[in-house]
Structure 1
Amino acid sequence: MPNSQPSLASRLTPGAGLHSARVAWRHSLRFRLALMYSLSALVITAVIGLGITSYLLGQMNRQFDARLSERADAVAERFGSKEQDIGQGLPPISGYTAILDNDGRVLGVSTSLKSDTRQKFRLGDPFPYPQHGSFTVLDVPMRATTRPAPDYGTVWVALPETDLVVAQTSATRALLLSLLVAPLLLLLLGWLVGQRMLAGLGEAADLADRIDPSRSLATLPLPEREDEVHRLLAAINRLLVRIEAGQLREKQLLGQIVHELGAPLTVLKATLSRAGERTNDPEVQKAALVADELTFTTQDLMQLARGQLEMKLVWHYIPAVTLRDRLDRLVPGVTFSGDWSGGILCDPDRLTQALRNLLANARRHAGLDGSVSCTLAETPEWLTFTVRDSGPGLPPELGERIFDPFVSGAGSSGLGLSVSRQIAVMHGGNLTGGNHLDAGGQVAGAEFVLTVPGAALGEDEDDEVLEDVEPVGV
């Protein structure tokens, strides 16, 4: 493990987009915060607005009542004596005025009140309008009050409420408009402000999505302002440091275990192989195969402990038939087909390890009586190895997880497929898996396709490339 800390850019997965994932607006923290503050503002605005509106309307009513009372007092003072005529010397205030006797009958009305053609005011008739409260004259809202007149009985005075009703209606509409517009404006403002305030958290999430745990765990950049986002990212960074330290300890422990097992297994494998050749004992030969299986498992564990970045390929140009002979010795009973007459530019040990893992896995699933085949197809760009078996096929619920370390559908270590894909990717190719179907459309077994770049060379590139390639097994 290098002592120097890799840069942030070197720890990110190549080709990953900056905005790799987006949250739906209705699920985003920004929208929930804006909505919460908008609803809170709506409640506060409603309570304060209702209070202010109620106060203003109350003040308007009190002012109108005061004005009406002043009018009534002025009229009562003017007609406190019979010497004054009802149509003379009234204060210059609009409104209706009437003089009533003690029984509520009409003694006289003002000229403005006589304009109501629906009423005929004759002396001695009962007064048609209420002496207190609100009513309508000619579709105009009015409010009336009375004052005692010793020589007559009662002075009745009414004023129009038109201005008061208009003011009350305007205040109510303004309140309703504020309750509708204010939350929408606050929601929009909260969304825009939240976008700005949470931008650092969103960028940190994008960077976190691009970190490749298989290479290294990069700490996230911290914002300059030490707010809650800074505190969250700092806690994530401390967690990443602890995770990376734990992974390092696990790899070191795994490497030590594999190292301790490697030498005894190599000796055991060689001893059992020689014993099997001398005695032809099936049990000894079976034990030799088990030792061989354990040897490859330790190789897979060693590769897992070292990690992909620390592995180096040793390139050689070998005949394809040499690779086939190696695989035939390691996994007996495999049917090889296709064109094996060409050459392969690869790391022979690593490619053998990858294909051997696929064939051994296929044999394990197909059983001793099942069939396992390996087909090689070549194009100018790619070499394609197709491994098929007659087993039950891949579990559909695993999907791509079948290539994760320690994931297995058959009780094995679960390292073979992961290592094989890693080797294929290091060669510039890939490994995919699935199921092949029989003529009836039923699953007939598992199928793995491993591809590596072909070894076709252009005329201008032959000399330059072959200088770095060592032929093996020719």
Structure 2
Amino acid sequence: MAWRHSLRFRLALVYTLVALALITVIGLGVMTLLLRQMDAQFQTRLDERADTLAEAWLGGQQGLGKTPGGAGTYTMIVDEDGQVLAATPSLRQYEKAPFPFEGQRTVQLGGSSARTATRKLGGFGTLWVALPEDDLVAARQSATNALLLALLVTPVLMLVVGWGVGRRALAGLGEAADLADHIDPTRSVATLPLPAREDEVHRLLAALNRLLVRIEAVQAREKQLLGQIVHELGAPLTVLKASLARAADRTRDPEVVRAALVTDELTFTTQDLMQLARGHLEMKVAWHFIPASALRGRLDRLVPGTSFAGDWGGMLLCDPDRLTQALRNLLANARRAAGPEGTVSLTLEETADHVTFTVRDSGPGLPPELGERIFEPFVSGSGSSGLGLSVARQIAALHGGTLTAGNAPGGGAQFVLTLPGVALGDEEDEEPAGQPGTALSAP
């Protein structure tokens, strides 16, 4: 399964996006709160420094560049006229000059940003204090980098962890899907194994098992009903077929002959329906060793207008009735596709390993969109019931052979039915394979 179609990947991706959104919102909220607290603490520190210096000045301690200011603090005394009376050593260039930072909340000093505060000194003027914001800026940058790192690393970790956790949590679904792919609908419907933990996966698989049981019960009822219908049709069709055959022999009326052919068609259709109702496993094969020419004669009567090619002088090991049914279905479909004016041919080729029957017609060929679906029941490309090809493939499989479909190189459809060849040894080494026209076995 491609990763983009995986439920585990989609769940992991959803959880990752949700986690990313939560981390972004929570991280921004925490960082904003933290920075506000740091800013408030910095402002408190600045105010305390300004209050301490103002008290020291008013108390007679007028050494602005020394102990009261502390390291990293800028101070100046501004008189009532806006002239700088005194300043810390790093700001001596501003003494005896107009105060340059009037009304500025933040100033640049020594290449760094500094926040300012002022205090009144009574009749002496104003105390101006500036405190560098280097630590505050560094803290802001560190918090921003931490948030960006979390936003980059967390999605990757969440995706990997989510993929692993999802793979383990949904392992039961994967195993159930693998088992469901191997369920043979022609056999008894198998149930899916349930995980030990009764979670949502357990509930889903349990519901699927109940559905499979209901499907099997419905299929059984349908097969039973279909078998009863076919059984009820079989007896009247047999009588009708015999009566029309005798009437056709006596009168040679074309309409009666045509009606007899229609009863043959209905008889084979009921056989197909019966085989569909019984299923592949209930079919039996009665093996006979018969001349190929006998099979050819039966097919020639059932599907008039068929041209035969190849070597029909050998012997065949098969169930004559079922092989006739399979080939007749193929020839009838070919006749429908070719139309009254078209051609239908059956070629027999025999080797030491295989016996091959090839049916060709001059019709439009098989629809390419059907592919192997043409062998499914009730799927038809020629307007028939769609049972014939499905039954023919089942019969080929019962004989240990295969049935394939395609389009002939010269146009038209081509069906190839291949059976295992018959290898007979010397009489003193092996038991006789059987006499022509006698049953060998009925497994």
Tell me, what secondary structure is at the counterpart of 2:127?
A: strand
Please state how far the C-alpha of 1:159 moved relative to its aligned partner.
1.4
Instruction: Read off the aligned partner of 1:356 and give its amino acid letter.
Output: R
Q: 1:328 to 1:152 in 2, by over 3 A?
A: same
**C-alpha displacement at 1:393, in angstroms?**
2.5
Deviation readout 1:278-325 (Å, 9 max, x if unpaired): 222222222111111111111111111100001111222222222222
TM-score, structure 1 as length reference? 0.87
Cα deviation for residue 85 of structure 1 reads: 4.3
CA contact (8 A) 1:130 1:144 kept: no
Q: Deviations over 1:39-94 (max 9, x none)?
A: 11112111111111111111111111111111111111111166734445535443
The answer (yes or no) to whether the contact 1:98–1:108 under 8 Å persists in 2 is yes
Match of 1:208 in 2: 180
Give the structure 1 partner of residue 146 of structure 2: 174
SS at match of 2:82: coil
Show the 5 A alignment for 1:145-184.
Answer: 145-184=117-156
The match for 2:423 among 456, 469, 474 is: 456
Q: Is the 8 A contact 2:299 2:324 kept in 1?
A: yes
Question: Matches of 2:43 and 2:30 in 1, distance apart?
Answer: 20
Contact 2:378 2:386 in 1 (8 A): yes
The residue number in structure 1 matching 2:15 is 37
Q: Which residue of 1 aligns with 2:437?
A: 472
Residue among 402, 407, 415 paired with 1:430 = 402
Query: Which residue does 1:78 correspond to in 2?
Result: 56
Larger displacement relative to structure 2 (299-308 or 452-461): 452-461
**2:207 counterpart residue number:** 235
CA deviations on 1:301-360 (whole Å, 9 max, x unpaired) are 111110000111122222222222222222222211111222222212111111111112
Seen in structure 2, the aligned counterparts of structure 1 residues 35 and 350 have a Cα distance that, compared at 3 Å, is: same
Residues 71 and 93 in structure 1, CA contact (< 8 A), matched pair in contact too = no
One of 397, 414, 435 as aligned partner of 2:386? 414
1:106 to 71, 84, 89: 84
Q: How does 1:38-437 map to 2 (within 5 A)?
A: 38-80=16-58, 84-87=62-65, 89-90=67-68, 92-114=70-92, 120-123=93-96, 125-130=97-102, 132-437=104-409
* More divergent stretch after superposition (249-258 vs 150-159): 150-159
TM-score (norm 2): 0.93
The alignment partner of 1:463 has SS state of coil
CA distance in 1, matches of 2:66, 2:244: 139
Q: Percent identity?
A: 66
Would you say the 8 A contact 2:87–2:95 is kept in 1? Answer: no
**Conserved 8 A contact 2:366-2:406:** yes
Change over 3 Å in CA distance of 1:146–1:131 after alignment to 2: farther
For 2:22, the aligned partner's letter is I
Is the 1:388–1:447 Cα contact (8 Å) retained in structure 2? yes
- Residue ranges of structure 2 left out of the alignment (5+ in a row): none
* d(CA) in 1 for partners of 2:157, 2:209: 37
Contact 2:309 2:348 in 1 (8 A): yes
Q: CA, structure 1 residues 431+86, in 2 after alignment: closer, same or farther (shift >3 Å)? A: closer
Report how many residues are paired. Answer: 439
Determine if contact 1:132/1:145 at 8 Å carries over to the other structure.
no
Deviations 1:98-119 (A, max 9, x none): 11112221101111333xxxxx
Structure 1 residue ranges without an equivalent (≥5): 1-21, 115-119
Question: In 2 relative to 1, CA 138–433 (structure 1 residues): closer, same or farther, beyond 3 Å?
Answer: same
* Counterpart Cα distance in 2 of 1:192 and 1:62: 45
Q: CA deviation at 1:203?
A: 0.9
Cα pair distance change 1:92/1:398, threshold 3 Å: closer
**By how many angstroms is 1:225 displaced?**
1.2
- The alpha-carbon deviation at position 454 of structure 1 amounts to 0.9
Deviation, 1:258, is 1.0
Q: Which amino acid aligns with 2:50?
A: A
Structure 1 Cα separation of the partners of residues 402 and 109 of structure 2: 93
Residue aligned with 1:103, SS:
coil
Q: Greater CA deviation, 26-35 or 53-62?
A: 26-35
Q: Residue 405 of structure 1: CA displacement?
A: 1.2
What is the RMSD computed on CA atoms of the aligned residues?
A: 2.2
Q: Distance in 1 between matches of 2:258 and 2:118?
A: 122
1:153 offset after TM fit, Å? 0.7
Distance in 1 (CA, whole Å) between partners of 2:46 and 2:210 is 76
* Alignment-mate amino acid for residue 322 of structure 1: A
Question: Partner letter of residue 472 of structure 1?
Answer: G
**Equivalent position amino acid for 2:297 in 1:** D
Which AA in structure 1 matches 2:437?
Answer: V
Deviations 1:99-158 (A, max 9, x none): 1112221101111333xxxxx3231x1122346522111212211111111242111111
Q: 2 CA distance for matches of 1:53 and 1:161?
A: 18
Matched position secondary structure for 2:404: strand
SS at the partner of 2:75?
Answer: strand
Instruction: Tell whether the 8 Å contact from 1:142 to 1:159 is kept in structure 2 after alignment.
Output: yes
